[in-house]
Structure 1
Amino acid sequence: MAVVAAQTRWLVPPLPSPIGFQSINDDRFSQLRRQAMQLVESRPRQGLQFVEEHRDASFQIHCKGVPVLWLERRSPHVLLQTSLDAKQRAPAVLQMRAILQWQLEPLDYLEQVLAGVPEPVLMDRVLQMLAGEVPDGVRCGMP
């Protein structure tokens, strides 16, 4: 049963692992947006796509059509999410997540809870470990 669940896991969009941060102004958001766009543009043959949800409010990076990184401005915080399989699916996204996180001020635990940022679900992490490698056809770039 676990093997079947692990094999089908790569066929559906993976669940995100969110982190909450303090609110940012329009200029800072535009700067972060440009950095994410540059990551995608610097890897034209890797299958990454920059997807803008709402200008000055949210964007995503997709790997062959599957979201792997999200940045969303919500009042009064910013939510940064990466898929649980980003390391296997699109390793370059982890570097981008680190760059974005470094420029943002994290919410403390209570603020995270009040902002509705859920705790990572243990079962998702267990399924991730059981799933093993992401098939080559759904990867973006080299691990």
Structure 2
Amino acid sequence: MTWCRWAATVICLAVVVTAQIQWPVPPVPDQLAFHGISDDRFSQLRRQARQFVEARPRQGFEFVGQRQDAAFQIYCRGVPVLWLERRSHYLLLQISLDARQRATDIVRLRALLQWQIEPLDYLEQVLAGVPKPVLMDRMLRVLAGEVPDGVRCGTR
């Protein structure tokens, strides 16, 4: 009887691993919180992100606006790699953990956007309830490994 349970466990684990290989889930994003900004300022950041995508027409990037000008995302070949979202008390800027491997240019765009907005300090983030990366996120970054050439965007 124990042999059957052991075999069933091995088969279940094999199915889970195979499913994850076939349909990879985008890595958990790295998050940074910033002070809230005006509608005009947010529109300017949104415009810069759109121009970033439009300047790279054949590199696999896609700009997706969301929620009545309160958020936008940039995708790399169908996988979200950067998002900026206005929340009630702060602005949240995120990039995926594999952005450096998947879309190197996104890291530069994030730096450009970050340079223009003021970050919240640690206490302000705690008081605002900003979700913070956890140890598991950092482990996923280490385990994520290399991104295949066919799913990368931009220059390397």
Q: Same fold (TM over 0.5)?
A: yes
| Offset of residue 137 of structure 1 | 1.9
Which residue number corresponds to residue 101 of structure 1? 114
Identity of aligned residues (%): 69
1:30-45 pair list within 5 angstroms: 30-45=43-58
TM-score by length of 1: 0.89
Q: Distance in 1 between matches of 2:89 and 2:132?
A: 19
Q: Distance in 2 between matches of 1:34 and 1:9?
A: 35
Contact 2:98 2:144 in 1 (8 A): no
Q: Matched residue of 2:49: which SS?
A: helix
Runs in 1 of length 4+ with deviation above 4 angstroms?
Answer: none
* RMSD between superposed Cα atoms in Å: 2.0
Q: Matched residue of 2:24: which SS?
A: coil
Which residue number corresponds to residue 21 of structure 1? 34
Higher gyration radius (CA): 2
The higher-RCO structure (CA 8 Å, 6+ apart) is 1
Q: Distance in 1 between matches of 2:88 and 2:149?
A: 39
Q: Answer yes or no: is 1:88 the counterpart of 2:101.
A: yes
Alignment deviations for residues 48-86 of structure 1 (CA, whole Å, 9 cap, x no partner): 000001232100001111111110111121111111110
TM-score by length of 2: 0.82
Q: Note the residue ranges of structure 1 that are not aligned, 5 or more in a row.
A: none
| Offset of residue 31 of structure 1 | 0.4
Contact 1:21 1:77 in 2 (8 A): yes
Matched residue count: 140
Q: Note the residue ranges of structure 2 that are not aligned, 5 or more in a row.
A: 1-12
